[in-house]
Amino acid sequence: MEKVIEFIIRVCGISAVIFVFAIFGFVFWEGRELLISGEFNFWKFLFTKEWYPASESNPRFGVLALIAGTASVTVLAMAIAVPFGLGAAIYISEFCGSRLREALKVIIELLAAIPSVVWGFIGLTIMNELIMKLFGAPIGLTVLNGAIILALMSVPIIVSISEDALKAVPDSYREAAIGLGVTRWQMVYKVLLPSAKNGLLAAVLLGIGRAVGETMAVLMATGHAVHIPFDGTPPFFHPLDSVRTLTATIAAELGETARGSEHYQVLFVVGILLFSITFAVNLTADLVVKGIRDK
């Protein structure tokens, strides 16, 4: 009996590993023909911006604009979410009373429980109108819209992991600093942020991972136009342009392709690219967190 239970538990433990490899294998397998065929040019795939996968005469598969879409939405989302998330975590762990702390944590966890399609819905309706009204943009489904939605979606992750990191700062450090007469704000930026910096960095990276991988909400909020929101004229970055992300492209197009067709396989290659990005981000976050423990 003991042995059986041990076996079952072991299978549960290993299954996560198996699934990760199986998914990666599947994605790779579906895109294999294209990848190993001589026709596929990886540089052209990454660094051209023409994405005409359904063209009869001349299909082109350049994902540069999609990468730019994902990058612009993610970066802007982090520019919003990181200050808010860190600020909230600092407030929760250091400044507020214990009853308010519990209430805030529950509410923030609730924020994480909102389904992404509901966020997309908010982007498509409320945010859309708001952006048109506030900025006079012809359409509100833009980088900015998607970034705000994504920021709201990543804030819970950033807050909860940052709060753990701050809580892990030994109390003796706080005591030492208080004994020397720090003000509360000096305590935060002289003692807590430097001591917790690895955990905070990990929190930000996991937030990025969330933002890069998110699909439905950005699909609905960013306008779905293959377009690079950067150019050579100031201000170089145009948050009121519509874009399309890597994830949104897969979600929108995969259902309409013939299984095994070139377009189908290219979408799987996009999947591999996406998987590699989030894998790299999460791995970095993991290594960073390990870094704290080893010290």
CB of 180 to other proteins, least distance (A): 5
* Nearest approach, Cβ of residue 196 and other proteins (Å): 11
Structure tokens at 149: 């939605």
What sign for the dihedral angle of Cα 114, 115, 116, 121? negative
Residues that bind other proteins (CB under 8 A): 97, 170, 172-183, 186, 190-191, 194-195
In the complex with other proteins, which residue's Cβ is closer, 115 or 194? Answer: 194
Q: What is the DSSP letter of 175?
A: H
Strands 60-61 and 51-52: antiparallel
Ordered DSSP codes for 191-211: IIHHHTHHHHHHHHHHHHHHH
Tokens of 64: 């540069």
The residue among 179 and 232 lying less far from other proteins, judged by its C-beta, is 179
Q: What token pair was written down for 82?
A: 């990181």
Give me the DSSP letters along 265-285. HHHHHHHHHHHHHHHHHHHHH
Residue type, 254: L
Residues in CB range of 237: below 8 A, 6 or more apart: 72, 229, 230
CB 247 within 8 A of CB 213: yes
CB of 190 to other proteins, least distance (A): 7
Q: Closer CB to other proteins, residue 18 or residue 178?
A: 178
CB of 143 to other proteins, least distance (A): 38
Q: Could you tell me the smallest distance in angstroms from the CB atom of residue 191 to other proteins?
A: 7
Compare residues 125 and 183 and give the one whose CB is closer to other proteins. Answer: 183
Task: Give me the helices (H) in 31-137, please.
Answer: 32-36, 42-47, 64-90, 98-113, 116-122, 128-135
Residue 106 beta carbon to other proteins: minimum distance, rounded to whole angstroms: 21
Nearer to other proteins, 79 or 176 (CB): 176
Report, in Å, the least distance between residue 202 CB and other proteins: 18
Nearest to other proteins of 191, 212 (CB atom): 191
* Residue closer to other proteins (CB basis): 118 or 176: 176
Q: Which phi and psi (to 5°) does residue 100 adopt?
A: -65, -35
- Nearest CA to 78 out of 219, 221, 209 is that of 209
Nearest distance in Å: CB 172, other proteins: 4
Note whether 212 and 137 are within 8 A (CB).
no
- Closer to other proteins by CB, 49 or 101: give it: 101
